[in-house]
Structure 1
Amino acid sequence: MYFTDEQPFLDAVFARFADDGPRLLYADFLDDSGAPERAELIRVQLALARLSEDDPLRPALCDRQDELLTRNRAAWTAHLAGLVETVDFRRGVPDSASVDAATFLERGEELFARLRVRRLSLRDAAPVMTKLAASPLLARVRELDLCNCDLGNGGVNLLARSPFLENLAALDLGFNRIEDSGVNLLARSSAFPNLTTLALNDNDTIGDAGATALAESPFFAGLTGLDLSGNDIGDAGLGAVIASKSLTRLHSLRVTGNRIGDAGVTRLTRAPLFARVTKAQPELSLRANMIGPAGAAALAACPALAACTALDLSHNYLSDSGVAALLRSPHIGRLQALRLGRNQLTDNGVSACCELFGRLFEHLQFLDLSGNRLTRVGMGILSARPGAHAVHIDVSGNVQSAVAGDAPVAVAGLLDGLLDGVAEAALLKRRVAHPRHLSDGE
């Protein structure tokens, strides 16, 4: 349902796009105009935008959001039927449309007349890329999503030469088979003077040369957010970004799924950029980055880690010693979620860190230890720690997964009695090393 006198409220929303105030006023107007569920969606999505991913309030709000959209989306977007593929409501307002690229070139004026489009997601853009790059319609878009359009370096070359992208604040080029040479074309382009967010994730082959070209470009000094996840960037490429004299405004940097290794993590934690990143995005992910014990130790020693509420180090090579170094950190007191899946953690590592896990459980809500090398012995130690009952622990995909109410409880009871005294501790270590003999007399 739309109202002829809602235009001033929408004008205020888009004029102060980052502020919640105009949206809340718009919600009040919708309440008074007989559209309470539209008003409720605004308030629900604003609340969700303020919550962390692990906040316990999220599930109920997400369920309500889904319920409102399932019941009303067709009616709320009926005026766009046949023109767009999907419409997204962001912070309560429909401002994001997904459109076939050829359809956009033919009916873009009609789209803008029907919807206040801030984010435009184009599908199947590669076949019409020459026409698209030359279209003045792009000048009316603030956020352009060309994700998964198979552009390759040639499509990037056309985009980088477009004269109609000076208003872009965000550009998504993820999943496009872009290589270092394609990033170099972007780095040499002055077509994006107002760009603040750039996504180059999951292009697979962007490496140190591409990251360095971007870091050395004078044309991307306005970037505050950069996503380089899912590529082939190592310590050298990350180091170039960290040391860049141009990318000094960055406060959001994503490098999940690269190969920065221990040297890259160490360099990152010593840079002012890391403090800005953890402050702006307290849910930090360094997943799948070939990080070992030395990198974990460097991260643990960094005071900026204290800002983090969630940390994802899964799919690395921390091993027992790296996990121990991380748990000894004096800077993890705010962590609510810790992901250490697939890090070669063993029962011996859990045994050696049982007290450290106990301190962690005083504030942690979720612990991912999936895909490690734990048996029921290690799981029993975890379930016996003080506060463990309040922590959701994922141990799926280990040597032998725990079953609710099964062996971990019995094992925990045995281990509690073994933890007192040096002789008992030595016995525990032998039994952890040889779990098949756990019930044998000694």
Structure 2
Amino acid sequence: MTDAEFLDAIRQRPDDDAPRLIYADWLEEQGQFDRAQFIRVQCALAGSALPAGHPQRVDWERQAADLLAEHEQDWQGEAGHSLPEIHFERGFIATIAGEFAQCHAAWPMLAARHPLSGMRILTAHASNLPRWNPQQLIGLRRLAIQTRLSLESFDDLCLSGLDRQLTALHLDHAYPIHLDSLALTRQLLQAIGNGPLRSLQLSNCQLRMSSLEVLTASAVSRQLRALDLSNNELGTNGAVQLLAATALAGLRELGLAWNQIEDARNASIWKSPTLNRLQTLRLSGNPLGPRTIEALGQGTLGQSLHTLTIGDPTWRTPLMGHLARSGAWPALRRLMLRAYGTDETLAPLVDWPPIAQLTDLSCHGLELEGDSIRRILMRIPENQLNALQLSSPIASTETWQAVLNSPAIRFVERLMLAMSLRRAPELQALIQAEMFPRLRHFTLIADDGRVTSASLAMQLAKIPWMRQLESLRIALGNQLGPFLEVMPSVGDWPQLRELHIDGPMRTDQEIAKFASAGTFPHLRRLSMVVGLSHLEPLIRRLLVSTGLPQLRQLSTSPRPGAELIRTCEQRWGPGPHHMPPQSLRQDALAKAALDEAALRETTLHEAALRDHSTDAK
């Protein structure tokens, strides 16, 4: 058999590992040992039931990361070099992301070498959306458009050519400018037709209650397994109408965050048969009352739910107490909380049974200076926690040290910490923290924007586990410059693909040393929140640098001028160079971070696994 014949077999059975492993054996016979091993390791990870932190799983993850760092440029080919984001799954590129024209042009070339199935559009304009060509987009099953679009109508999306192949359609900030939400929904459902759609997201699309009747009466609703209507205007009555729709009884995931949902008169609606098979529920940003909170954990929903995001600025200790009394939640593994007050607001959850079984925990809005967060972390076994996000500042040095010394966080893959870094002991404690062998994504926020010691900031860059990161988001205020200057001197950062830096730059020389060192061979996305006076010199330094060969996406705040944007596009191709990143110190980013773990549930590359498991059930 030839390469093309093996790939055809894989495309015909996209959810089956057997054709991939057979291809791996053939590659090994041809002398491509690393490519074969990468396919085997990623297939093992995707199909493994081993928990996070298990030694075998950690070994597989390390092997996959090392192989990808060494060979990614060759395996993705020339077409992949122009894209700001590609994602490998089970040994092959599964999802690509970038500007509309980039993805549309790269798809046929990448599809010739990989069983592509997902595309995320990060920037686009309704005026230049071309007609989709199903023959050109072979294998496209999952499409996400995550950028603001103002459309004359949904006909501008030209989905009619894809309706027979899409299993997931995610739209964020896409809405017609001259249509009400009812007409919007009708047009969209007509465009989708009777295709195999299983996952639908319409967030920030100005939907109102009138759209729900059309949606729930359609043939599409009966086949959906995931529905996300977050950030719309549904209200309490809209939620009641949605939950009463028997057509949605097949849902496994439901997103209703930030929809102005309050306590329903009949709280038993949350025990609706529509929710019987639900595994993920997103309700953060809604001012839910005690009746709804306690009803959530009762009945079938409380027995089956795996992921819960909940809470809003009105949450205080009493409402947290109602959550703690809502049931045992035996299947709950991922909890994202938004509440306001002190650390004691969490006190009712210290003895809540689900805490001991969590793999992901996020808290936002609380002043963490007491003992509750430490006691919560002590209840989570070592090797179990995969992600911890504390996006509110840890105000106490003692609490900060207790969090760092907790066995629960030693094996996390994602870690977000926000604290006051003016006091040297806090930063020194981080520098001296034990090695995090699985940490790949780290966010550190100095909430007051000031770090008094340049030497401490420079020591932070030298921490050994920093160089295993795939993404780093850091706000060090007035000491960001020394941190950037030291980064290249500690050696290669072979895994780093995304870097977000936040703080004033004293001189463009600081970024010059960073950009020219050649120690960031795989950095693809760089975003900077910097002082206005240094913006243009910084960008011009990056434009002429040869030390960032894989850089494909640059975002800056403040926004560069139109001429500089055109220069960036000539250097790196079309992309979101005009889209300013959010400051790490702004509450809006902390709010987004709260739902980051939940958002990973709906990313397109994971939707492939969900398609397979859902159909199997």
Superposition pairs of residues 245-394 of structure 1, within 5 angstroms: 245-263=246-264, 266=267, 269-278=270-279, 281=280, 284-315=281-312, 317-344=314-341, 347=344, 350=347, 353=348, 356-357=351-352, 359=353, 362-364=356-358, 368-372=362-366, 375-376=369-370, 379=371, 383=374, 387-388=378-379, 390=381
Q: State the partner residue of 1:403.
A: 398
Residues 76 and 341 of structure 1, relative CA distance in 2, 3 Å threshold: same
Q: State the partner residue of 2:416.
A: none
2:66 paired with 1:67: yes
Q: State the partner residue of 1:170.
A: 168
Distance 2:358 2:102 in 1: 49
Q: State the partner residue of 1:124.
A: 124
Residues 302 and 331 in structure 1, CA contact (< 8 A), matched pair in contact too: no
User: Larger C-alpha radius of gyration, 1 or 2?
Assistant: 1
* SS of equivalent to 1:213: helix
| 1:157 paired residue among 141, 155, 158 | 155
What is the letter of the counterpart of residue 397 of structure 1? S
Residues 328 and 356 in structure 1, CA contact (< 8 A), matched pair in contact too: no
Superposition pairs of residues 185-204 of structure 1, within 5 angstroms: 185-189=187-191, 191-201=193-203, 203=204
Superposition pairs of residues 74-85 of structure 1, within 5 angstroms: 74-80=73-79
Distance 1:117 1:277 in 2: 28
Residues 298 and 50 of structure 1, relative CA distance in 2, 3 Å threshold: farther
Residues 275 and 26 of structure 1, relative CA distance in 2, 3 Å threshold: farther
Q: State the partner residue of 1:208.
A: 209
Residues 146 and 173 in structure 1, CA contact (< 8 A), matched pair in contact too: yes
Residues 309 and 187 of structure 1, relative CA distance in 2, 3 Å threshold: closer
Distance 2:61 2:269 in 1: 34
Distance 1:349 1:81 in 2: 46
Distance 2:158 2:30 in 1: 45
Distance 1:37 1:264 in 2: 60
Residues 148 and 172 in structure 2, CA contact (< 8 A), matched pair in contact too: no
Offset from partner CA, 1:131-174 (integer Å, 9 cap, x none): 415x4546745325351354334252233673453222222222
More strand by share: 2
2:238 paired with 1:243: no
2:198 paired with 1:232: no
Distance 2:187 2:12 in 1: 33
Residues 209 and 233 in structure 2, CA contact (< 8 A), matched pair in contact too: yes
* SS of equivalent to 1:288: coil
What is the letter of the counterpart of residue 273 of structure 2? P
Residues 127 and 161 of structure 1, relative CA distance in 2, 3 Å threshold: same
Distance 2:389 2:102 in 1: 46
Offset from partner CA, 1:244-283 (integer Å, 9 cap, x none): 35444332322233333333994663122322112xx5xx
Residues 239 and 91 of structure 1, relative CA distance in 2, 3 Å threshold: farther
In the TM superposition, what is the alpha-carbon distance from 1:74 to its structure 2 partner? 0.7
Q: State the partner residue of 1:183.
A: 185
Distance 2:96 2:109 in 1: 13
Q: State the partner residue of 2:16.
A: 19
Offset from partner CA, 1:328-384 (integer Å, 9 cap, x none): 34423444443334254663772xx48735x555545665454225653xx2x6646
Distance 1:51 1:247 in 2: 30
Residues 365 and 114 of structure 1, relative CA distance in 2, 3 Å threshold: closer
* SS of equivalent to 1:39: helix
Residues 51 and 256 of structure 1, relative CA distance in 2, 3 Å threshold: farther
In the TM superposition, what is the alpha-carbon distance from 1:386 to its structure 2 partner? 11
Distance 1:245 1:309 in 2: 22
In the TM superposition, what is the alpha-carbon distance from 1:62 to its structure 2 partner? 5.0
Distance 2:96 2:400 in 1: 48
Distance 1:124 1:252 in 2: 28
What is the letter of the counterpart of residue 148 of structure 1? Q
Q: State the partner residue of 1:34.
A: 31
In the TM superposition, what is the alpha-carbon distance from 1:76 to its structure 2 partner? 0.7
* SS of equivalent to 2:254: strand
Residues 272 and 405 of structure 1, relative CA distance in 2, 3 Å threshold: closer
Offset from partner CA, 1:86-145 (integer Å, 9 cap, x none): 54322222243446544677787666555543324455252322x415x45467453253
Residues 265 and 299 in structure 1, CA contact (< 8 A), matched pair in contact too: no
In the TM superposition, what is the alpha-carbon distance from 1:81 to its structure 2 partner? 5.5
Residues 383 and 389 in structure 1, CA contact (< 8 A), matched pair in contact too: no
What is the letter of the counterpart of residue 127 of structure 1? S
Residues 165 and 383 of structure 1, relative CA distance in 2, 3 Å threshold: closer
Residues 348 and 25 of structure 1, relative CA distance in 2, 3 Å threshold: closer
Instruction: Tell me the TM-score normalized by structure 1.
Output: 0.71
Distance 1:398 1:84 in 2: 35
Q: State the partner residue of 1:436.
A: none
Distance 2:361 2:162 in 1: 47
Distance 2:325 2:105 in 1: 60
Residues 68 and 167 of structure 1, relative CA distance in 2, 3 Å threshold: same
What is the letter of the counterpart of residue 193 of structure 1? G
Residues 296 and 326 in structure 1, CA contact (< 8 A), matched pair in contact too: yes
Residues 225 and 251 in structure 2, CA contact (< 8 A), matched pair in contact too: yes
Residues 295 and 326 in structure 2, CA contact (< 8 A), matched pair in contact too: no
Which ranges of structure 2 fall in alignment gaps of 5 or more residues?
Answer: 404-617
Q: State the partner residue of 2:503.
A: none
What is the letter of the counterpart of residue 55 of structure 1? A
Residues 204 and 232 in structure 1, CA contact (< 8 A), matched pair in contact too: no
How many equivalent residue pairs?
A: 392
Query: Among the aligned pairs, what percent are the same residue?
Result: 23
Q: State the partner residue of 1:411.
A: none
In the TM superposition, what is the alpha-carbon distance from 1:75 to its structure 2 partner? 0.6
* SS of equivalent to 2:365: coil
Q: State the partner residue of 1:217.
A: 218
